[in-house]
Amino acid sequence: MLLTVDVGNTNINFAVYDGNEEKAFFAITTKIARTSDEFSLWIDGLLERNKISSSRIDGCIVASVVPGIMHSLVNGLIKLTGKTPMQVGPGLKTGIKVKLANPREAGADRIVDLVAAYELYGGPAMVIDFGTATTYDLIEADGTFRYGITAPGIRISANALWNDTAKLPEIEIKLPGSILANDTVSSMQAGLLYGCIGQTEYIIKKVREEAGLPSMKVVATGGLGKIIADATDAIDLYDRKLTMKGLQIIYKKNS
């Protein structure tokens, strides 16, 4: 079985695959102040809850955008499985060509998402990840990653709204029934979500124009991505497990 691990700024997501079949998916919050023993204990407990023995894990791959967590996490995975996990970074085969001004600046999660989108859905394609930040990454027909746009994530924008204003409350992030809001909560929801929809549609439109790719496919992922994907025709499909699928693909390419 393969254990895939996606370390984000907010959560660490785990998936277990038996061949191509997903057997488990679970998450913990991202906290740097965990020891390797704590990681090993947490992950082992969550595997057991899903009726999977850690002894059945014969491979592991990790993509991380939080360097400070990696020493403890990697050692925790070694203690749990007895194997050193593969880490997404320079030197691994991905099947895509990174042609950014500084390729080492590309986050591992962005590379993994592009690998999955390109392998599963083809190119040219834009991958939009509605995570802690919202990223818009373009992969060309030949598998080249040359352009990416980064914007504040929906939750970051929401936190700024209620933390930096004296009278605005913390709210549930959901699409209100109408953009014509007449109370504080729905007005905040409308501004956050319809504002994000407008941003998404405009960025897709401008990328298509400037890149000369009118038929570019648009794939969305990330925790809050389904809200946006369901509300606009500009997104072709939403794949919640895109990152995990990409990790599985990269692991196979390098095994």
Domain layout of the chain by residue ranges: 2-87, 123-245
Window from 124-138, 155-169, 197-211, 223-237 with minimum mean pLDDT: 155-169
Q: Which two tokens stand for residue 234?
A: 């500009």
By the 10 Å C-beta count (0-12 exposed, 13-18 middle, 19+ buried), 23 is classed as middle
Class of domain 2-87: alpha beta
pLDDT at residue 91 in the model:
85
- Whether the per-residue pLDDT at 103 is higher than 90: the answer is no
What are the Cα distances from residue 29, in Å, to 6, 32, 42, 100? 11, 10, 11, 30
Mean pLDDT for the stretch of residues 193-222: 97
- Whether the per-residue pLDDT at 219 is higher than 90: the answer is yes
DSSP strand E in 48-99: where?
59-64, 86-87, 97-98
As a whole number of angstroms, the distance between CA 98 and CA 78 comes to 30
pLDDT at residue 81 in the model:
93
The CATH classification of domain 123-245, taken from the options 3.30.420.40, 3.90.1150.10, 3.20.20.70, 3.30.360.10 = 3.30.420.40
Element (H, E) at 151: strand 144-152
pLDDT at residue 164 in the model:
87
pLDDT at residue 125 in the model:
97
255 pLDDT tier (thresholds 50, 70, 90): confident
94 pLDDT tier (thresholds 50, 70, 90): very high
- Whether the per-residue pLDDT at 138 is higher than 90: the answer is yes
pLDDT at residue 241 in the model:
93
196 pLDDT tier (thresholds 50, 70, 90): very high
Mean pLDDT for the stretch of residues 177-199: 94
Between 94 and 105, name the one with better pLDDT: 94
pLDDT at residue 189 in the model:
94
- Whether the per-residue pLDDT at 205 is higher than 90: the answer is yes
pLDDT at residue 152 in the model:
94
- Do 168 and 184 contact (CB within 8 A), yes or no? yes
pLDDT at residue 32 in the model:
78
pLDDT at residue 166 in the model:
82
- Whether the per-residue pLDDT at 15 is higher than 90: the answer is yes
- Whether the per-residue pLDDT at 43 is higher than 90: the answer is yes
- Whether the per-residue pLDDT at 129 is higher than 90: the answer is yes
Q: Which candidate in 109, 129, 137, 239 is catalytic? A: 109
Mean pLDDT for the stretch of residues 82-111: 91
pLDDT at residue 62 in the model:
97
Q: Is residue 109 annotated as part of the catalytic site, yes or no?
A: yes
27 pLDDT tier (thresholds 50, 70, 90): very high
As a whole number of angstroms, the distance between CA 233 and CA 218 comes to 10
